[in-house]
Amino acid sequence: MILSDSMKAIIKLEQINQNGNDFIINKSKDKVFRVGFASNPQKLPFYKVLLPMAYTGFLKPSKKVNKFHKAILLLLPGTGTTFSVAETLCDIAGTFHGRKSKNRGKKRKNDQGLLNMMLPADKMFNAASFPLDLPLNGMSSNAPFELANQRGTQAMIRHAHLVLRQLYPNLPFFIAGRSTGGLAAISYAQHYKDINGVIAVNPPLPDIELLQYTIKYMEDKSEYLDDILNAPGVSL
C-alpha cells in the first residue's frame, strides 16, 4: 500500500503521540501581543511554547500554575489567517487563570471576572489556560497543508494534550473551543475519553451533507491549493 505524503505526516504524528514521553518542547523568545493593535501593540502576559513535532504551539501564561488552579484548560480558537488566532483567546485564558484584565470598560472593576459573575464566592476556582494554534494558523502556519483535516487536527490537539498532561499530571484536563474550535473540541471528546469535560462556544452547525461535501472538496483540492499557496511571490 502506497501512502500519500499527507497520510505519512499524520501517521508519523500519531506514532509520536502513542510512543509518549520524548516530546520536544521549545520556549520561544517571541513576545505575545494583542491581535489588532498594530499601531500601538499591547504586550500580553503569555509566552509561546513551540511543539515542533506537531507543527504548532500553545500560549503559556506568565503567571505560574499554583495551588489555586483546579484544572488545566486547553483553548481551541476558530480558524483564521496565518496570524496566531490563539492570541485572540488571551483575555479568556487570563480570566480563567486568575489575571486581572485592564480591558473591562469604565463601569467594571478589575475583580469582576467571568468566573466571579458565574459562581458564588465559596465555589470560585482558577483554571490554568493554554490557547493552542490549530493547523495553518499562527505557530502552525508552516504545518503541512494536509494536516488541516479532521484526523490531522485531532493528532495535533492530542499532542498538546499529552504535553500538558506531562507538565501537570495531577490536575484534571478540560478542552474548550470557540467557533470551529468548538467543533474540534467536540470531535476530540468523541475520540478520546481521558478528559474531564468539553466546552463548545458558538460552534457552527451547518447541514451535515454540506459539511461532508465541503470537507471532501477541500481534501480533494489540498495538493492543488498547496501548490498555489507555496508558489513564488505568494504571501499571506
Residue 20 maps to a domain:
yes
- CATH number for the domain spanning 170: value is 3.40.50
Q: Is 181 helix (H, G, I), strand (E, B) or coil?
A: helix
Residue 112 maps to a domain:
yes
Task: Please tell me the total count of domains within the chain.
Answer: 1
Host domain of residue 105? 5-205
Residue 235 maps to a domain:
no
Sign of CA dihedral 48, 108, 123, 66: positive
**pTM confidence score:** 0.74
The band of 52, judged by pLDDT with boundaries at 50, 70 and 90, is: very high
Amino acid 194: pLDDT: 92
Query: Rounded to whole angstroms, how far apart are CA atoms 171 and 108?
Result: 31
Amino acid 15: pLDDT: 92
| Average pLDDT of the residues in 150-179 | 92
| Average pLDDT of the residues in 132-145 | 86
Residue 226 maps to a domain:
no
Residue 183 maps to a domain:
yes
| Average pLDDT of the residues in 107-128 | 59
Residue 53 maps to a domain:
yes
Residue 217 maps to a domain:
no
Give the rounded percent of residues in the chain with a pLDDT score beyond 90. 22
Is 109 within 8 Å of 189 (Cβ atoms)? Answer: no
Residue 221 maps to a domain:
no
Amino acid 74: pLDDT: 93
